[in-house]
Amino acid sequence: MGWSALRGMVAGVLAILCPFSLLAADTGAAMLYTSGAAWVNGAHVPYSASAILAGDMVQTRSDSLANINQPGSTVMVLADSLVKFEVASLDVIHGSATVSTSRETALTAGDIKVTPISSAWTEFNVTHINGAVRIAARKGDLSVSDGKETVTLAQGQETTRDESSSTSKDGKKKSQKPTTGAVPAAHGGTLNSPIAVGVGGAAVGALTVWILAFHDDDPVSPDRP
């Protein structure tokens, strides 16, 4: 059975046997919904809905978008972007992402970290291109930290910061270019806690098969048809 068919079958089994909210709470997982071509850990996502784990890399191209959904939080990965998913945050390596959250989900870009000030519903956008980080507070106030100082960005305000980690030892700013093609496979998160009581052994077995299939060591290049 091919990777795509196996992953699709297991995703269906999980959807029936294990509610997503329970899966996310116990494993740090999230659901990825794509519009257009996208890649996870360098492997093309063959279905519009897939599960991802902490440490997974998500990439879109110039004509595609991706949504990462968790209970109380949605992150839209905009076109031509590369991000790394973590349980309570998202690292914008290149491109743009928009967060809508009531659980204080943060975005990072190099040394810059953007976090909602409260658990009230907050919406904001972070764009990270060529060492410049642009932050826009759409709804709610934000805390912006570069590791040295922390400032408040009020609702409706925007700011641009230089990513300090983009400066090399000789003082020259490193050039960051959009990633072309699929990114190298990353080491995704592992399941550190048991599936909650009430989910049968079939769900546990299916989840194990899904993890092995999802972290395939033979990523599909986006250049292939």
Q: What are phi and psi of 26, to 5 degrees?
A: -90, -20
- Find the range with the poorest average confidence among 123-127, 190-194, 221-225: 190-194
Return the closest-CA partner of residue 30 out of 136, 166, 168, 189: 189
Residue 180: what pLDDT? 39
Average pLDDT value for residue range 7-35 = 59
| Spatial distance between the Cα atoms of 90 and 97, rounded to a whole number of angstroms | 9
Computed over its alpha carbons, how large is the radius of gyration of the chain?
18
136: three-class secondary structure by DSSP: strand
**For 152-172, how does the pLDDT look when each residue is reduced to its tens digit (9 = 90+)?**
999 999 999 997 644 433 444
**For 85-128, how does the pLDDT look when each residue is reduced to its tens digit (9 = 90+)?**
998 999 999 999 999 999 999 999 999 999 999 999 999 999 99
Residue 28: what pLDDT? 73
Average pLDDT value for residue range 38-47 = 90
Are 122 and 106 spatial neighbours (Cβ–Cβ below 8 Å)? Answer: no
Q: Please state the pTM of the whole predicted model.
A: 0.66
| Spatial distance between the Cα atoms of 18 and 11, rounded to a whole number of angstroms | 10
109: three-class secondary structure by DSSP: strand
| Spatial distance between the Cα atoms of 87 and 104, rounded to a whole number of angstroms | 11
| Spatial distance between the Cα atoms of 110 and 91, rounded to a whole number of angstroms | 8
Residue 48: what pLDDT? 76
Residues in the chain: 225
| Spatial distance between the Cα atoms of 47 and 39, rounded to a whole number of angstroms | 11
Average pLDDT value for residue range 126-138 = 97
Q: In the chain, what are the domain boundaries?
A: 30-183
Q: Which residues pair with 97 in a beta bridge?
A: 77, 126
| Spatial distance between the Cα atoms of 143 and 199, rounded to a whole number of angstroms | 39
Q: What is the CATH number of domain 30-183?
A: 2.60.120.1440
Kindly report the average pLDDT of the chain as a whole number.
Answer: 74
| Spatial distance between the Cα atoms of 162 and 174, rounded to a whole number of angstroms | 11
1 pLDDT higher than 90: no
Residue 56: what pLDDT? 97
| Spatial distance between the Cα atoms of 129 and 109, rounded to a whole number of angstroms | 10
